[in-house]
């Protein structure tokens, strides 16, 4: 299922990122209840994502359909774990960052069109 690649990658990436964040920030070996809740929520949203088949979209777009409090938390996780992913999962992270940047650029372009 080639079309699902980005989505499937993300499904693997999110638990890794949240775990990294929890280990670093909350000093937990396994996920603390708060981070577990965030992970459950993130995976639930991912499952429901309407852009599942469109590999151009990544976590960045999905963040926008998160509840506000979860949105804040997942952004924290990405800010914290994102740069650290470069060391443990270089290929993963570079791909992911590339997708994020192109999505951001696209948003900027579209924003300009409307402005």
Q: Rule CB under 5 A: which residues touch Zn ion?
A: 22, 26, 32, 35
Q: Minimum Å distance from CB 31 to Zn ion?
A: 6
Spatial separation of the C-alpha atoms in residues 18 and 78, rounded to whole Å: 8
Nearer to Zn ion, 80 or 92 (CB): 80
Kindly state the smallest distance separating residue 5's Cβ from Zn ion, in Å.
Answer: 29
Nearest Cα residue to 22 out of 33, 13, 11, 12:
33
Q: Taking the complex as a whole, how short is the minimal distance between the CB of residue 15 and Zn ion, in angstroms?
A: 12
Token output for 50: 């309407």
């Amino acid at each position: 299922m080639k079309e699902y690649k980005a989505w499937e990658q993300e499904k693997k990436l999110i638990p890794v990122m949240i775990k990294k964040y929890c280990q670093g920030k909350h000093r937990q070996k396994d996920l603390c209840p708060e981070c577990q809740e965030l992970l459950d929520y993130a995976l639930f949203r991912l499952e429901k994502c309407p852009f599942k088949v469109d590999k151009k979209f990544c976590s960045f777009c999905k963040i926008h359909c998160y509840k506000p409090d979860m949105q804040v938390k997942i952004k924290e996780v990405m800010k914290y774990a994102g740069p650290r992913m470069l060391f443990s999962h270089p290929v993963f992270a570079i791909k992911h960052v590339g997708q994020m940047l192109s999505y951001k650029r696209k948003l900027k372009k579209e924003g300009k069109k409307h402005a």
